[in-house]
Copies of this chain bind each other. A is one copy, B any other.
Amino acid sequence: MEQIHSKDTQTIADRLSDELITSIVKGDIPSGSKISEPDLARTFKVSRGPLREAIRRLEGLHLVARIPHVGARVVSLHSEQLVEIYQVREALEGMAARLACSNMTDEEIAELKELLDAHERNIEQSEGRDYFQHEGDFDFHYRIIQGSKNQRLIELLCSELYHLIRMYRFRSSQILSRPNKALTEHRHICTAIEERDGELAEILMRRHINTAQKHIEQEFQREEE
């Protein structure tokens, strides 16, 4: 009666879909490549039954696109789609910040502030290390989303859009070109939450994400030259 959350109770299909998500996000299975069922079945040493169920899940997450009788391909993110994702993200995370103002405990807010302090130290210490910046950025956003206490919102952002954004980040690694500027924006958002000013927190979060979106657009424009 203790092993409710034990890994053993997971099915092959569930485990497989998690592994496939990781492989796709990391780029081990490259963007645009075809998902061959016989190949993957051999690689992962499973039969095609659970594999197909896993693919169905990836399809729902928009990580692969499937055409009946033809097969599934890993999606490839173009600038237009990334902009679309960021518009959705702006709306949802704005709402998350607003809700977080009502629903985060004082303790959670204190931890959020500590997190930002840690980030500041990290930036001073490891100048230009992209990895920590990315992870740090995620931590911050992740906590606010969780702080909204809206399960639907959490699921949408952390389990659905999340993968696509990470997938993009793995491809082009310098997004947050100004870590200090980002940290400042994070601090302002945190302050608004501390003051329980939902209106302001939402506006600041939306502006913060909108800035990131504009940077991405610039990045793509530069690429196309």
Binding site for B on A (CB under 8 A): 9-11, 13-14, 49, 52-53, 56-57, 59-62, 68-69, 81, 84-85, 87-88, 90-92, 94-95, 99, 150-153, 155-156
Instruction: Please tell me if the beta carbons of A81 and B152 are within 8 angstroms of each other in the complex.
Output: yes
Name 4 extra pairs, CB < 8 A, besides A56-B60, A87-B150, A88-B150. Answer: A9-B68, A10-B68, A52-B53, A84-B151
Complex CA gap A61/B57 in Å reads 10
When A56-B57, A60-B60 are in contact, do A152 and B9 touch as well, CB less than 8 Å?
no
Contacts of A68 in B (CB 8 A): 9-11, 14
Total copies of this chain within the assembly = 2
Are B95 and A88 neighbours in the complex by a CB distance under 8 Å?
Answer: yes
Interface of A is mostly: helix
Query: Can you pick out 10 interface pairs between chain A and chain B where the beta carbons lie within 8 Å of each other?
Result: A9-B68, A14-B68, A53-B53, A62-B155, A87-B95, A87-B150, A88-B152, A91-B92, A91-B95, A156-B156
A-B residue pairs, 5 tightest by C-beta: A60-B60, A91-B95, A56-B56, A84-B152, A91-B91
- Within 8 Å CB of A87, what residues of B? 95, 99, 150, 152-153
A95 to B86, CA, bound (A): 11
List B contacts of A60 (CB < 8 A). 56-57, 59-61
Residues of B with C-beta under 8 A to A152: 81, 84-85, 87-88
